Structure 1
Amino acid sequence: MRCFIDIEPPQNVKDQLAQVQEELRKEFKGKFERPENMHITLKFLGEIEQVEDIIKKLQTIRFKPFTIRLTHVGHFRHRCLWMGVEGVEHLKEAVDNVLPQFKDDHIAFNPHITLLRMGYTTRIEEKLQKCGVDVLNTSFECTAFNLKQSTLTSQGAIHNIVKTFHAH
């Protein structure tokens, strides 16, 4: 089972991100993330067999509701546009602590919500200015995180919640 751990933004935030995507369509071409798939990945686990073991470890995480702030549109290597987020680092650290066997390939954690995957694109900052979607001053309260299964299909990934873990 291909799995990852995420925080899913509420529908009103997904709606705002879909509006950002509409503005991006004026200047960018590619595969736009479907709003129902929008999420903040805390940890990608890959193929796992012992789902119950993972669930038991994740159930030990205790956290209080906290605020996540959406910041600005950025990009990875001119191929992926995303909305940056702040405020998830302590939960990411808690997940890492209970699942140390899953390494992050020495890639610095850059919390984000993917908006668009595209071919190599130049003049990104100039195009973002034309779209007028640099910054999105939105926040939401995080009260849960999920263990999700990701199934790859020819139409894109399908994400299903395996288990939700609530704040207390």
Structure 2
Amino acid sequence: MRLFLALVPPPRLRERLGELADAAHAQCGGRRMPDETLHVTLAFLGEVTEKQATELVDGVQGLAVEPDEWHLDRWGHFRQPGIVWVGGPSPALAALHARLWSTLEAQGLGSRPARFIPHVTLLRRADSLDLAPLPRTELSWAYNQVTLIHSIRDARGARYRILAASPGEHEA
């Protein structure tokens, strides 16, 4: 089973991110991410066993996440594979990312990536990476919950199923 840990936006923020994805798609082309899949990945675990998944569910359900706020105030891209994103730096998210990876590595669940850039992927395989014409973005994301997500790939593409969430709630 292919799993990752993420922050999932509350409905109102998801709508705003969808509007930014529409603007990015109109400017850059490519494949727009569906609104229901928008998130920020904190730890991509890849394939794990059923036993590891069960342990992760238990761990996430007992995970305390300090409430904080993330400011998404810039556009960015990853040249390969043509990803367009919105995000911004966050010491609190970087600390949460590091904390999660310390626990995951101790459990033998992979190793942390060399760098962490907090972002929400809006497009994949963009035809253009010219972001200059895109509208200014200044979104705030209040968060206090981490979600464990199962990424299921089938003939329809990737879809996500939430397996567990830490205590806390989405803001409105």
The TM-score normalised by the length of structure 2 is 0.83
| Residue 61 of structure 1: aligned partner | 63
| Residue 6 of structure 1: aligned partner | 6
Deviations 1:57-76 (CA, angstroms, capped at 9, x unpaired): 33453232111211211000
| Residue 114 of structure 1: aligned partner | 121
Pairwise CA distance, 1:39: 0.5
Write the distance in 2 (CA, Å) between the matches of 1:93 and 1:111.
12
The letter of the residue matching 1:7 is: L
Secondary structure of 1:69's aligned partner: strand
RMSD: 2.1
| Residue 72 of structure 1: aligned partner | 74
Secondary structure of 2:138's aligned partner: strand
| Residue 81 of structure 1: aligned partner | 84
Write the distance in 2 (CA, Å) between the matches of 1:106 and 1:5.
14
Shift in CA distance, 103/138, structure 1 to aligned 2, threshold 3 Å: same
Report 1:1-168 matches (<5 A): 1-49=1-49, 50=51, 51-77=53-79, 79-85=82-88, 86=90, 87-100=92-105, 101-104=108-111, 106-118=113-125, 121=128, 124=129, 127-130=130-133, 132-133=134-135, 135-167=136-168
Write the distance in 1 (CA, Å) between the matches of 2:111 and 2:28.
29
Write the distance in 1 (CA, Å) between the matches of 2:126 and 2:146.
31
The letter of the residue matching 1:92 is: H
- Count of aligned pairs between the two proteins: 162
Comparing both structures, which one devotes a greater share of its residues to strand? 1
Where in structure 1 are there 5+ consecutive unaligned residues?
none
The letter of the residue matching 2:154 is: T
Identity among equivalent pairs (%): 25
Instruction: Out of 69-78 and 40-49, give the one that drifted further.
Output: 69-78
Write the distance in 1 (CA, Å) between the matches of 2:65 and 2:147.
13
